[in-house]
Structure 1
Amino acid sequence: MSKILDIREDYLRVLSLFTRGYDREIYIREVARYLPISRGTAQTALEYLEAKQVLRSVTRGRTRLFSLRRGDHARDFCTLAEVYRRICLREEEPFLAGVLNRIVPHIEGSGAVFGSRAEGTADEESDLDLFVAGECRREEIERIGKIYGLKIHLTVYPTEIFDRDLHTDPFLQEVLRNHVLIKGTEHFVEKAVG
């Protein structure tokens, strides 16, 4: 292996925007508006990801739009971006990180935080919205919530239904747009990217 993979935090932050729905088209100024980075940094990150065959671009008028490519390479980069988002959530909310550490062993399949906690708009009174594609031990998860004084709303879809309806079910579309994966990242990304 002679090529070095240059993964900077700015690149992961930019790529994370594309993991919110996995079907977005984003232009350079839009990235600079969503993230606290300059337009030049946004352009550098987008062009790097395009050169790595993770993103593709099309020009409409004078606007250059970027979107995710499909395939293994893009899936691997999206998996990195999802892990980055999970790390950010754990650093921003250490209390929640402790709760999630206790919950994750009770999930079989993919698990995601969604709602206000995933958006970063939660306050002290906010509940924890959890989505599971697979199976979980609901009673244990609810018990953990009670121990920590945290109301947990748990939504569980069987894996087959998640796989089949991910791109058509309105609730799953909302989870796809606004989530932080806590378990089963590769399966979730594989189904989202295609």
Structure 2
Amino acid sequence: MPKKLDIREDHLRILSLFTQGYDREIYVREVCKYLPISRGTVQLDLEYLEAKQVLHSAIKGKTRLFSLQQGDHARDFCILAEVYRRICFEEEKPFVAGVLNRIVPLIEGSGAVFGSHAEGTADEGADLDLFVAGKFRVEEVEKIGKTYGLEIHLTVYPPEVFDRDIHKDPFLREVLRNHVLIKGVEHFVEKAVER
């Protein structure tokens, strides 16, 4: 029987910060600024993730900075963090989640919400920004948007362009920094973790 993993919600919340761009270097107090977790708990959680070879730390000046490691193990933990982020998004925005559940089967490839909904700053009349790396049935999505009274903006990239330019293209870098993955999590994370 495999050894039990001790992954807590705080670990996933902290990892979610690292999945905002996948290239961030974060120090302990910075995590405390974004999340309501005590400094001591953050320190222990970061050290736990470093021991699990998910994070790497380096001292710059007097500050210890943490960043994502490269490799399969870190990728798998990032996938967990992305799924956690999607679950939190669905619980916070059940109406949008219901619309997305109708849209997801129409995506062939990776899909993500970005913009104000992903940031958590969307108001009642905000449009829904969707990014797709792959193919998409645009007419059906527009029909779903009209049915629910929600304006949907689509940005579609061919998969090969997404794979090649994920860290170079300014728009893709913005999607990397601010997204909620709705489909194709493994492929998206695999390409994001590669540098």
Name the TM-score, length of structure 2 as normaliser.
Answer: 0.98
- Paired with 2:149 and 2:164, the residues of 1 have a C-alpha distance of 35
1:2 Cα deviation from its structure 2 partner = 5.0
C-alpha deviation, 1:3, in angstroms: 2.7
Is the partner of 2:74 in helix, strand or coil? helix
Tell me whether 1:156 sits opposite 2:156 in the alignment: yes
User: Residue deviations 1:4-23, cap 9 Å, x none?
Assistant: 20110000000000000000
Q: Which amino acid aligns with 1:142?
A: E
1:133 maps to which residue? 133
| Counterpart in the other structure of 2:57 | 57
Equivalence map 1:1-194=2 (5 Å):
1-194=1-194
Take 1:127 and 1:36, find their aligned partners in 2: how far apart are those partners? 29
Q: Any idea what SS the aligned residue of 1:95 has?
A: helix
Q: What 5-or-longer segments of structure 1 have no aligned partner? A: none
Structure 2, unaligned stretches of length 5 or more?
A: none
**SS of residue matched to 1:132:** strand
SS at match of 1:188: helix
Distance in 1, Cα, partners of 2:167 & 2:2: 38
The code of the aligned residue for 2:134 comes to G
Listed one character per residue, the Cα deviations across residues 119-156 of structure 1 (whole Å, up to 9, x for unaligned) are 11111011100000000001111111110000000000
Name the TM-score, length of structure 1 as normaliser. Answer: 0.98
Distance in 2 of aligned mates of 1:2 and 1:157: 40
| Equivalent residue letter for 1:13 | R
What is the letter of the counterpart of residue 187 of structure 1? Answer: H
The amino acid across from 1:82 in the alignment is E
Counterpart code for 2:127? D
* Cα distance in structure 2, aligned partners of 1:144 and 1:51: 46
In 2, distance between residues paired with 1:78 and 1:92? 21
Pairwise CA distance, 1:192: 0.3
